[in-house]
A and B are shown apart, each in its own frame.
Chain A
Amino acid sequence: MTDDGNPTLEAPTPEAPMLEAPMLEAKGISKFFPGTIALDDVELTLHRGEIHALLGENGAGKSTLIKCLTGVYRRDGGEIMLDGEAVDPLSTHHSQTLGIGTVYQEVNLLPNLTVAENLYLGRQPMRGPFVARRAMNAAARISLKSFGIDIDPTQPLSAFSVAIQQVVAIARAVELSGKVLILDEPTASLDREEVELLFSVIRQLTSRGIAIVFITHFIDQVFEICDRATILRNGQVVGTRQLKDVSQKDIVSLMLGRQLEARVRAPKSNVVGKTLLEIDGLRKTGMLEAFSLKLREREVVGLAGLLGSGRTETANLIFGAVRADHGAMKLRGHEIRINNPRNAVAHGFALCPEDRKTEGIVGDLSVRDNIILALQARQGWMRPIPRRKVEEIAQHYVRTLDIRLANLDMPVRLLSGGNQQKAILARWLATDPDFLILDEPTRGIDIGAHAEIIALINRLREDGMALLVASSEMEELVAYATRVIVMRDRRQVGELTGDEITSNNIIHAIAAEPMVEPAS
């Protein structure tokens, strides 16, 4: 499609790619949110013509950093040098005009407009009071051809695949900005061929001297296309590496960290109860390849994997939040069908979703109502739980889970992240489930609540519950899982049991390298 790095192509930036003067230098960037430090003294340097990976798990600070660079957030500290000059982006639009363009996973273009209209929105060639459509369409065609795609720009954007839409978004960003291009998870919803197309476009951009920030959770893609990588964890830079010098495993362990390992490893009783749930060949096209699991009582199965590996999808499919294409489930030996969350709840399932705010809490309802919501929904609206019973249940969980609040009548959205998580846990515990699915139960909560939730998981298991916990925190999985299923590319790729469960082994399995050290 394209001749990669063909020097005859017109480059909007005349300078040849040079490594001496960085295109962008961000120094000491800090950003505080109430109660948390989102970015702590972060450094990022981009050279001309470089493809620089920005890596980290959710909540590591990637998107906050990008938002500071593109003017969505005002940074609380540090300075940004662009092309040798100090800049201060005030809005996305401003940062675009400065020279920093961004392309997101959900293409930030308008599907109802044509390709050409999208490319030139706000800067259309004019003839008198009217848009010179013919000139605009011709220019769009030429521009896109220079990226190696030849399409009819008068078609609506929605007529094209996501990959083409991405290229259109890149073309717009490059023409508008032309110095730094930030690609935020551009490949998350592309298939292999589309990724190839996108990569050829990206490589070609480097020959124009543009510095590219590439954010992804596909580690192999990082090694395929990037020159360097900066890894963030908990709002701090944990390292910047030349990728040709390091292995995938080095990067993964930097991302996940494993300092805590020795500390939290708790002795686990091996008493495992009888089989509770058998899942056979659960799958849905584009979300999850056949997933099978045999789960027993008194067992905590961990789901490990990087972002996008299919952890959340697995949880949602089991719970019926998304309807599966295929898959059989047996509960205590009896065939069951789960088509929606209501079925799941009726069978004694419970799910604490990953996205607490949009799928977990019901923000404006009181903490009390949030706690009894699932139990009440299961009982049906005709049989209200008596007020005294409600009070009793709510008080009970506030006490046992140590939910910190002013009173039970306060809206749950006013609680801190950790306490919101506990309230959702309380909601499900109140239904007395046999099987509890937790999706990233400790994300974005403070360290104290973190430890409490880990302790709670262990206690629930000892009380006889079966749990499935999806998490990106290795130490955490080591602390409570009796078994760990490793996911990659929406597929089960391995299983660790007993003493095999160490951060190291999990990281190896995720990074798809042979296990080196059996844990002792």
Chain B
Amino acid sequence: MTRHQFIRRITPQLIILGVVLALNFLVFHDFFKIEFQNGRLFGNVIDVLNRGAPTALLCVGMTLVIATKGIDLSVGAIMAIAGATAASLIVDGHNWVSALMGALAVGALCGVWNGFLVAFLRIQPIVATLVLMVAGRGIAQLITEGTILTFLDEGLIHLGAGTVLGIPTPVLIWLFLGGAVAFFVRRTALGMLIESIGINEASSRLAGINSRVLLLCVYVVSGIGAAVAGVIVAADIQGADANNAGLWLELDAILAVVIGGNSLLGGRFSIVASLLGAMIIQSVNSVILLSGMPPEFNLVIKALLILAILVIQSPKVGHLIYILRASAPPPEVKQTTPVKDVN
């Protein structure tokens, strides 16, 4: 994708984000004000970036999964499991690095499980990931033994509540991981191969693509992303809450992917657009909060947002627009290559 195409791809999301941020500004004029106090940046914009971190981390993997025509319902549960793992490792006296590594490994394992069900047992993704969605919180509680496992390890807490160069760590983590994955899939051929599987798996297989392994990989990425999000959430509250950590965040992540203009039917994807989608969701939350509207409206507005986007994405509506446009002449397909005899 050239730079021009890339910008065109994310323009709708940028516009929506701009509008929502402007709304934020209208209801609260100090919205864009950023202060530097006690070695840390403060401000509403920073809050949006910080609070949006879990959704942003989840939507990276979710974008890849959805690009393969799949879905991962279990990410919220994986967050709980990963948070619980990190907390219990710390409580058992390990240092924060091994706690983090342990959580990531557990997340990857959950991803392998999902990916195995989808890619090798050929169970539909929504069904396959439902198993972990149902059982996952139970597993997390098993690890925390039913309590909210609190810890005081500075290193781990730093991941959720600390700052680096004045910027909250979660912001740096999601910016870095999101950026790295987005860069990686486009710099290697991974992105194209994933899209190819999502668009037409039969063709892809015939072209020699190892679709099973790639499918497994995207679920692993999703699991690892969820694990990072889980550790951040746990670090932020200095404890692992198996019941509420990441509750319903899988839905926010899916929503972010959809707002990012990625089709739920698989195919072309943009991680950057999904990340913008996550920020849009967080900015909407912020508008509701700042406007003094009761936070109860949050869900209603989210629902209406989904409906609006779905109606726009709906094949039927697309067809209707096509018919309406058909009265105008179709865009001319130009022949730029010289017509030449092959013989």
Do any CB atoms of chain A lie under 8 A from CB atoms of chain B in the complex?
A: yes
Contact A376-B342, Cβ < 8 Å, known A361-B200, A363-B199: no
> A374–B207 contact, CB under 8 A?
yes
Residues of B within 8 A of A381 (CB): 188-190, 193, 214
Tell me the complex Cα distance, A369–B200, Å: 13
- Interface positions, chain A 400-425, Cβ under 8 Å from B, are 400-407, 409-410, 414
> A365–B342 contact, CB under 8 A?
no
- Interface positions, chain A 335-379, Cβ under 8 Å from B, are 340-342, 344-346, 351, 353, 358-365, 369, 373-374, 376-379
B203 at the interface (CB under 8 A from A): yes
> B208–A345 contact, CB under 8 A?
yes
- Interface positions, chain B 163-212, Cβ under 8 Å from A, are 187-190, 192-193, 195-196, 199-200, 202-210
Q: Which of B188, B195, B203, B342 interacts with A402 by CB under 8 Å?
A: B342
B interface, by DSSP: helix, strand, loop or mixed? loop
Q: How far is the CB of A471 from chain B (nearest CB, A)?
A: 19
Tell me the complex Cα distance, A380–B334, Å: 34
Contact bitstring B311-343, A, C-beta under 8 A = 1, else 0 = 000000000000000000000011111111011
Q: Which of A377, A401, A402, A459 interacts with B207 by CB under 8 Å?
A: A377
- Interface positions, chain A 197-250, Cβ under 8 Å from B, are none
- Interface positions, chain A 376-396, Cβ under 8 Å from B, are 376-385
Residues of A within 8 A of B5 (CB): 409
> A455–B208 contact, CB under 8 A?
no
Contact A427-B207, Cβ < 8 Å, known A369-B196, A376-B192, A403-B337: yes
Contact A376-B189, Cβ < 8 Å, known A351-B206, A358-B203, A400-B342: yes
B266 to A, closest residue via Cβ: A364
- Interface positions, chain B 88-111, Cβ under 8 Å from A, are none
> B189–A385 contact, CB under 8 A?
yes
Residues of B within 8 A of A382 (CB): 188
Residues of A within 8 A of B336 (CB): 405-407
Tell me the complex Cα distance, A117–B204, Å: 40
Residues of B within 8 A of A378 (CB): 208
Residues of A within 8 A of B209 (CB): 342, 373, 377
A-B pairs under 8 A by CB, number: 111
B137 at the interface (CB under 8 A from A): no
Tell me the complex Cα distance, A380–B190, Å: 9
Q: Which of A342, A369, A402 interacts with B208 by CB under 8 Å?
A: A342
Q: How far is the CB of A413 from chain B (nearest CB, A)?
A: 9
> A365–B208 contact, CB under 8 A?
no
A149 at the interface (CB under 8 A from B): no
Contact A365-B192, Cβ < 8 Å, known A341-B208, A359-B206, A360-B203: yes
Q: How far is the CB of B55 from chain A (nearest CB, A)?
A: 27
> A406–B334 contact, CB under 8 A?
yes
Q: Which of A362, A379, A383, A456 interacts with B203 by CB under 8 Å?
A: A362
Residues of A within 8 A of B214 (CB): 381
Residues of B within 8 A of A379 (CB): 189
Tell me the complex Cα distance, A362–B204, Å: 7
Q: How far is the CB of A155 from chain B (nearest CB, A)?
A: 27
B337 to A, closest residue via Cβ: A398
- Interface positions, chain A 134-159, Cβ under 8 Å from B, are none
Tell me the complex Cα distance, A363–B199, Å: 7
Q: Which of A342, A353, A364, A414 interacts with B333 by CB under 8 Å?
A: A414
Residues of B within 8 A of A346 (CB): 208
Tell me the complex Cα distance, A398–B199, Å: 23
> B196–A362 contact, CB under 8 A?
yes
A319 to B, closest residue via Cβ: B206
Residues of B within 8 A of A495 (CB): none
Contact A359-B193, Cβ < 8 Å, known A377-B207, A404-B337, A406-B336: no
Tell me the complex Cα distance, A456–B189, Å: 30
B267 at the interface (CB under 8 A from A): yes
Tell me the complex Cα distance, A363–B267, Å: 10
A399 to B, closest residue via Cβ: B337
Contact A364-B202, Cβ < 8 Å, known A381-B189, A402-B342, A406-B334: no
Tell me the complex Cα distance, A348–B268, Å: 29
Tell me the complex Cα distance, A345–B209, Å: 10
A321 at the interface (CB under 8 A from B): yes
> A353–B337 contact, CB under 8 A?
no
Q: How far is the CB of B187 from chain A (nearest CB, A)?
A: 7
Q: Which of B206, B210, B268 interacts with A353 by CB under 8 Å?
A: B206
> A374–B203 contact, CB under 8 A?
no
Q: How far is the CB of B9 from chain A (nearest CB, A)?
A: 12
A401 to B, closest residue via Cβ: B342
Residues of B within 8 A of A376 (CB): 189, 192-193
Contact bitstring A491-503, B, C-beta under 8 A = 1, else 0 = 0000000000000
B335 to A, closest residue via Cβ: A404
Interface centre among A346, A376, A399 (most CB of B within 10 A): A376
A379 to B, closest residue via Cβ: B189
Tell me the complex Cα distance, A450–B335, Å: 19
Contact bitstring A454-473, B, C-beta under 8 A = 1, else 0 = 01100100000000000000
> B187–A341 contact, CB under 8 A?
no
Contact A364-B199, Cβ < 8 Å, known A376-B189, A403-B337, A405-B337: yes
A427 to B, closest residue via Cβ: B207
Residues of B within 8 A of A380 (CB): 189
Residues of A within 8 A of B210 (CB): 342, 377
Q: How far is the CB of B206 from chain A (nearest CB, A)?
A: 5
Tell me the complex Cα distance, A467–B227, Å: 51
> A358–B202 contact, CB under 8 A?
yes
A452 at the interface (CB under 8 A from B): yes
Give 26 A-B contacts (CB < 8 Å), ordered by A residue.
Answer: A319-B206, A342-B208, A342-B209, A342-B210, A345-B207, A353-B206, A359-B203, A360-B206, A361-B203, A364-B268, A365-B199, A369-B192, A374-B207, A376-B193, A377-B193, A381-B189, A384-B189, A385-B189, A399-B337, A402-B337, A404-B337, A404-B339, A405-B335, A405-B336, A407-B336, A410-B333
Besides A359-B206, A364-B267, 7 more A-B contacts (Cβ < 8 Å) are A361-B203, A362-B199, A384-B187, A400-B342, A403-B337, A406-B334, A452-B342
Closest 5 CB pairs of A and B: A345-B208, A377-B208, A377-B209, A384-B189, A374-B207
Q: Which residues of B contact A (CB under 8 A)?
A: 5, 187-190, 192-193, 195-196, 199-200, 202-210, 214, 267-268, 333-340, 342-343
